[in-house]
Amino acid sequence: MTLSGEAGAPFASSGTFPIGTTLKVTNLDNNKSTTVKVETTSGSCVLLNNAAFEQVREPGKFLIRRAVIEKIG
């Protein structure tokens, strides 16, 4: 999971989940999670924008290697 660099309220881009899908993303390295809505498409499974990424990232890291992505809506 990577950072898309887009600003604004927390949201995700995805090439796997359709626009409008709500996802719970959990970083398994620190057990932090966030709930985001897919608002745009991308070539990746899930990309988080800046606001969403800040909620789950570890300080100094810009990639989440171990994550669980749950479709909740």
What pTM was computed for the model? 0.86
How far apart, in whole angstroms, are the C-alpha atoms of residue 32 and residue 40?
23
The model's confidence at residue 4, banded by pLDDT at 50, 70 and 90, is: low
How far apart, in whole angstroms, are the C-alpha atoms of residue 36 and residue 34?
6
The model's confidence at residue 8, banded by pLDDT at 50, 70 and 90, is: confident
Tens of pLDDT, residue by residue over 12-57, are 999 999 999 999 999 999 999 999 999 999 988 899 998 999 999 9
- The 3-state DSSP class for residue 40 equals strand
Predicted confidence at residue 35, as pLDDT, reads: 97
